[in-house]
Amino acid sequence: MRFPHILFAGAIIFLPGCSTTPRQNDQQAFESDLSEARIFLKTLQTLDSGDVAKTRQVALIPVCVDMASLPTYAAKIDLTAEQKLELTSVAKGTLDYLLAHRQEFDGRLPSIQACVRGMQRILNEPDDVRRLQELSGYYAEREKQMTRAQKP
């Protein structure tokens, strides 16, 4: 009668791995992948429409989300020198892109604001700080102009 006890012990050991309840990381990964797929599909659809400005706006969303969250993740782990360089490179590339297309993006959008805050946490070289201030100043001035234009 030892056989049923071995089966029971085996079931206790192996069944938790067969659980149908998603683990937190699986849930987050699913939501992240689903959101990413939705954004890229929307990007492809707007690209097909020929609306380049709208395509840029849609494609920038995941970049902004990542720029906002990467500093938090980076603070929790030990980045390698290569990862630090890559993070800085991506942040600089994002800043370059936003500066080049600043007229196309609304600095009041939460995604743009979060992106700028994230880049401020990543970029600390004087030239990058100056360029971030330039971008923030542009968005602040543009917001003032829009507010004045809306007043009767």
Q: Is residue 48 part of a domain?
A: no
Containing structural domain, residue 120: 60-150
d(CA 136, CA 114): 12
d(CA 114, CA 69): 9
Residue 131: per-residue pLDDT: 98
d(CA 75, CA 89): 17
Q: Angle, to 10 degrees, between the axis of helix 126-150 and the axis of helix 81-100? A: 30
Q: Is residue 130 part of a domain?
A: yes
Q: What is the DSSP string of 45-109?
A: HHHHHT-HHHHHHHHHHHHHHHHHHHHHHHHHS---HHHHHHHHHHHHHHHHHHHHTGGGS-TTS
Residue 112: per-residue pLDDT: 94
Q: Is residue 21 part of a domain?
A: no
- SS3 state at 124: coil
Q: Is residue 103 part of a domain?
A: yes
Q: Is residue 78 part of a domain?
A: yes
- Consecutive 10-residue runs of the chain (152 residues): their mean pLDDT? 43 45 69 78 86 86 90 88 93 95 92 95 97 96 83 70
CA distances to 39, 53, 115, 136, 137 from 143, in Å: 27, 19, 17, 11, 10
Looking at the structure of the chain, the number of domains it has is 1
Residue 7: per-residue pLDDT: 37
Q: Locate tokens 């990381």: which residue?
A: 25
d(CA 132, CA 135): 5
Q: What are phi and psi of 125, to 5 degrees?
A: -70, 145
Residue 152: per-residue pLDDT: 67
Q: Is residue 46 part of a domain?
A: no
Q: Is residue 31 part of a domain?
A: no
Q: Is residue 90 part of a domain?
A: yes
DSSP code, position 152? -
Percent helix / strand / coil, the chain, rounded to 5: 85, 0, 15
